[in-house]
Amino acid sequence: MFNPLEHPICLEQPLWHEETAWAGHIPFAMFLISALRPRIFVELGAYRGVSYCAFCQAVKATRSDTKCYAVDTWAGDAHAGEIEEAVLPKLRAHHDPLYGEFSRLVQSTFDDALAHFGDGTIDLLHIDGFHTFEAVSRDFETWLPKMSERGIVLFHDTNVREREFGVWRFWEEAKSSYSSFEFLHSHGLGILAVGNKLPEDLQALFTADETQIAAIRQFFHLLGDRIESVNLHRAQTDYIAVLQTYEKVVQDSRLMRAYRILKDEGAGELVKKTVKRQ
């Protein structure tokens, strides 16, 4: 029977908080590291590093003997938008001291990075690059030979049908050829079993019946909502702090001081005080 609480890492809060559509899947990411104990984990498309750092956090917390690699150009694309220059240095500043012993941020195209991994060596692959049908199909086909007999591939945005996103189309085709499980919240996450020698906990995930599927989805959705709520609170707090900074600047400005004198004491007093300062 599938019991995620046998892997309590899924209850942990992430250490890295940045803007992301992936936060709702962090509990499952942490569970997956604990249950699979992958020897090599690769993420294609790390962007701000929220999902990647969650995987790394779970590797460190569970003491899994996993080597981790985030592959990205950090240049952006039509779906992610243009990435600011500060994103990668900021991510490195958080990532390197915590995870540098077992993890690397690889600034590269997906195709160029292929040569660094032997066939049959990757146990866990997260594909989250350009989201057209053609792009995700190519990413899967080119990286599939690198997957091991314990291999699992994750696809984000399986539940998005806008802006030429085509992951959902790819997912409909792929799940007919492999064992699969899909979460519908947070834009959708598809889990594809491309290996045939999975740990017992994960076999139970892929053989769950309809009642069990509903319970598993609800469990991880609720945990994900908790993280998204924390992120929303942090974002709102930061935004309020920015507004308060602007408010102070405006209140301390000469124009605002003149307005207050004009409003409270009249035009004559404003002229007197202006002349006096000169």
Full DSSP string of 136-186: HHHHHHHHGGGEEEEEEEEEE-TT--STT--HHHHHHHHTTTSEEEEE-ST
Distances from the Cα of 178 to the Cαs of 1, 6, 14, 192, 196, in angstroms? Answer: 21, 26, 31, 6, 10
> Residue 261: pLDDT above 80?
no
Task: Give the residue carrying structure tokens 């209140």.
Answer: 251
The 10s digit of each residue's pLDDT in 111-161 is 999 999 999 999 999 999 998 999 999 999 999 999 999 999 999 999 998
pLDDT score at 75:
84
Predicted pLDDT at 278: 52
pLDDT at 275: 47
Confidence of residue 54 (pLDDT cuts 50, 70, 90): very high
Q: Kindly tell me the sign of the dihedral angle through the C-alpha atoms of 164, 167, 173, 176.
A: negative
Q: Read out DSSP for 16-61?
A: ---S-S-GGGHHHHHHHHHHH--SEEEEE--TT-HHHHHHHHHHHH
DSSP H or E segment with residue 191:
strand 189-193
Percent of the chain at pLDDT > 90 equals: 70
CA distances from 101 to 54, 69, 108, 113 (A): 16, 12, 20, 20
How far is CA 66 from each of CA 7, 16, 176, rounded to the nearest angstrom?
A: 17, 19, 30
Rounded to an integer, what distance in angstroms lies between the CA atom of residue 170 and that of residue 149?
22
Comparing CA positions, the residue from 129, 218, 126 lying closest to residue 165 is 129
Residue 79 has pLDDT above 60, yes or no: no
Residue pair 258/272 in contact (Cβ under 8 Å)? The answer is no
State pTM to two decimals. Answer: 0.82
Whole-number Å distance between alpha carbons of 127 and 120: 17
Q: What is the pLDDT of residues 218-243, one digit of tens each?
A: 999 999 998 988 666 565 565 565 56
pLDDT at res. 255 = 63
Q: Is 99 helix (H, G, I), strand (E, B) or coil?
A: helix
> To the nearest 10°, the Cα dihedral for 85, 50, 112, 109?
-40
What pLDDT, on a 0 to 100 scale, did the predictor assign at position 19? 82
CA dist., res. 72 & res. 76, Å (int): 9
Average pLDDT of the residues of the chain = 87
Q: What are the structural domain ranges in the chain?
A: 4-226, 231-277
> In terms of pLDDT, which residue wins out, 200 or 260?
200
Write down the CATH number for the domain with range 4-226: 3.40.50.150
Burial (CB count within 10 angstroms: exposed 0-12, middle 13-18, buried 19+), residue 109:
middle
Strand-pair partners of 67: 40
Higher pLDDT, 43 or 266: 43
For residue 2, what pLDDT band results from cuts at 50, 70 and 90?
A: confident
